[in-house]
Amino acid sequence: MDRFSLYVPNFLPKAEYFGKGHTACMGCGLALGVRLVYKVIGEKIKKGKWEVPWKLGIFGVKTESAETKGTSLLNIDKGNGVKGKITICFDYEGINDLEVIKKHIPSLAVAEDFDYVGTASIGYPFDLIDKVKTAMESTGSSFLHILCPCPTNWGFDPDSTVKAGRLAVESNAYPLYEVVKGVYRVTVEIPKPRKVEDYIRLQGRFKKTGEEDIKQISQTVAKEFQKIKERV
């Protein structure tokens, strides 16, 4: 076989509603997340202000409440006869505050009785796109939490943004699951999880973290993952 053509974009909506000269840093995970989300829901906000993103800032509505510090939120009406709103939370972990980190935003959303709650990472783009689609089609209010690694804040090279998003899932630090009316389902299952150490050592902000702390972190990661597995 001399040359095969897989061409990933065949599985994607082709129109681009975002990305014509935005002012984000290079290798921005948030810009990539917003771009992938807009590929699905772009038609609905075409008339809105986000068509010229560089002028108005790409980070959406910055919130000051304690639960969502260091994230940006996006509220959109579903339209097309489907009632309800979709809330998308792009989490770039902008504030390294213990009170914020301790709170687990998706589980807060589950407690608030959202009909559809999902977590997604930019390391798994097709999983992300599927979740946005199902969130748009399901009736009732829905919530999506998207992990967007930020090279500037986290302290890694701009070319390893996608790698960071993938490592977060592969080390079970950020499991991908969805909750449809209270029923849990893990969408991406990792047969052989990697060490949490790999994920932490990638980030410059954990430079001073000792080995004992990493042990503790990996224990809490395992505990949190076990909690989700029990609910499935």
Partner 1 sequence: MTGAKKTQKKVAKDSQIGCSLLWERKVKPFSPAKREMKPVWDNDKCVKCGLCYLFCPDASIRKGEDGYFEADLDLCKGCGICNRECWFGSISMVKEA
> Binding marks (x or -) toward partner 1, 15..34, rule CB under 8 A?
-x-xxxxxxx-xxxx-xx--
Identity of the residue, 31 or 221, whose beta carbon is nearer to partner 1 in the bound complex = 31
Whether 145 and 132 have beta carbons less than 8 Å apart is answered as no
In terms of Cα–Cα distance, which of 13, 14, 18 is closest to 45?
Answer: 18
Q: Tell me the per-residue interface mask from 154 to 183 with partner 1, x by CB under 8 A, - otherwise.
A: ---xxxxxxx--------------------
Q: Are strands 116-121 and 142-147 parallel, antiparallel or unpaired?
A: parallel
CB of 39 to partner 1, least distance (A): 10
First to last CA, the chain: 43
65 is a site residue for partner 1 (CB under 8 A): no
Question: Does 45 sit near partner 1 (CB under 8 A)?
Answer: no
Binding residues among 99-158 for partner 1 as defined by CB under 8 A? 125, 157-158
Q: Can residue 98 be called a binding residue for partner 1 (CB under 8 A)?
A: no
Q: Closest CB to partner 1 among 19 and 70?
A: 19
Whole-angstrom distance, CA of residue 31 vs CA of residue 215:
33
Tokens of 160: 């390893």
Least distance in Å: CB of 210 to partner 1? 29
Rounded distance between C-alpha atoms, residue 111 and residue 97, angstroms: 23
CB of 162 or CB of 186, closer to partner 1 = 162
In this structure, what are the phi and psi dihedrals at residue 78, rounded to the nearest 5 degrees? -75, -40
* Of residues 86, 84, 90, 77, the one with CA closest to residue 44: 77
**Residues near partner 1, by CB under 8 A:** 3-10, 12, 16, 18-24, 26-29, 31-32, 35, 54, 125, 157-163
